[in-house]
Amino acid sequence: MKIKLVAVAALAAFSGSAYAQSSVTLYGVIDSGLLYQNAAGASAIPALNKNGGKVFAFKDGGIYASNWGMRGTEDIGGGYKVNFKLQGTFNSGTGALGLSGTGNGNAIFSQYATIGVSSPYGRVDVGRQIVPMIWAMYDTDARGSQYFGSILTAWVGLNQATGWIPVTTNGSIGALYDDNAIVYQSPTFGGVSFALEYAPGGVAGQFQGSTRESAVLKYANYGLHLSAVYYNGHDTNPYAVTPAGVVSVAPAGVDNNRFYYLGAMYTFRGISVSASWANGRNPSHTERANVDMYSAGLGYAFSPALHVSSGFYYLKDRNHSANHSAEISLAVDYSLSKRTTLYAEAARVDNHGNNMGQMIVYGEPTAPNRSTIGAMIGIRHSF
């Protein structure tokens, strides 16, 4: 009897340790608010955009988009782990899923669908994912690349100025997400780390057709964050506006997406100061797309719960001096708890030129060639 009890106890202990080596977590965020904008755009496509008038709307994503997902890790020993992540955005006002990156409409997992391996030598993830350049921008923006008046909305404005057709998440300059991406993230050495990305295009007869590659170098230590980004892509604007509407353009291996970014942010005693410069261009036809992006930001944490941040974002078309845009934003975030945040935001953008449509909040077009004021209040809860 004692032998049986010992065997059962040993089996239970072994089973417990085996299961402890693996974990799966379900998680999500709901971010909803009310938006007012005094001159909304009729379309995010520059050729179709015009002033659509005032708008008062329920808006998803005042800080970041609502999302849900699951992630898991299996410890396979020797410091190695197998990881997966599935995450998709949804509109908290309608329940609709987020856009894919292929033009096939909405996707269940529009942000992450990855599997990978982590080790003492770094981490490799493969599949659709947020690209390393966005995290580099996040680290060097006092507004934290939020969906309202930040380096993210300025970058979206840069894409619009260069002819982006926003029927998918494929940007014409740089990228927020990449399909089929292979990303290596290095360990951190003395505050220095780097990331490398390659995404094969899978186009028959075109080895470089629809490919992406990028490199990111970062430093984080003593309150200082520095980021440098290089991103390059082929066939990254696979749609065109014609009299018949938006049509697909066959991949031809054209190198038409180049993005450089340098950014810095320093935080000391609750005060954060940031600045950056970037350039987006079409390297095959710089006369079609060559836009500079500048930013400056200031934030202050009055307490662990109360944070105020502001930003200034300027776009300049090198090919057409009449096309330029400036945006200034201010936001107050108050944490009711570790999971719930209330926020209030306001911004003004001055768009000059028919191709400039820098957004106040991601997903809500602004009117071209005029000034626009917007404000939003909302709540964000994670679970």
The answer to whether the beta carbons of residues 113 and 127 sit under 8 Å apart is: yes
The answer to whether the beta carbons of residues 343 and 380 sit under 8 Å apart is: yes
Which of the two residues, 72 and 21, has the higher pLDDT score?
72
State the Cα–Cα distance between residues 146 and 139, nearest whole angstrom. Answer: 11
State the Cα–Cα distance between residues 110 and 113, nearest whole angstrom. Answer: 8
Query: What digits encode the pLDDT tens for the residues 274-319?
Result: 999 999 999 998 988 999 999 999 999 999 999 999 999 999 999 9
Q: Of all residues in the chain, what percent carry a pLDDT higher than 70?
A: 92
Which of the two residues, 348 and 244, has the higher pLDDT score?
348
Domain 46-68+130-177+206-382 coded CATH 2.30.30: no
Which of the two residues, 170 and 378, has the higher pLDDT score?
378
Sole residue written with tokens 């690349």 = 145
**pLDDT at position 344 over 90:** yes
Query: What digits encode the pLDDT tens for the residues 119-171?
Result: 999 999 999 999 999 999 999 999 999 999 999 999 999 999 988 877 778 88
Which of the two residues, 6 and 105, has the higher pLDDT score?
105
**pLDDT at position 8 over 90:** no
* Prediction pTM value: 0.90
The least confident of 57-61, 247-251, 274-278, 286-290 is 247-251
State the Cα–Cα distance between residues 70 and 321, nearest whole angstrom. Answer: 47
State the Cα–Cα distance between residues 169 and 273, nearest whole angstrom. Answer: 30
Sole residue written with tokens 């940007």 = 171
Domain boundaries of the chain, sorted by first residue = 46-68+130-177+206-382
pLDDT of residue 167: 75
Q: What is the mean pLDDT of residues 178-186?
A: 97
Q: Which two tokens stand for residue 100?
A: 């894919």
pLDDT of residue 1: 43
Q: Which of 63, 133, 141, 134 is nearest to 312 (CA)?
A: 141
Calculate the alpha carbon distances from 265 to 5, 58, 230, 307, 309 in Å: 60, 33, 19, 16, 13
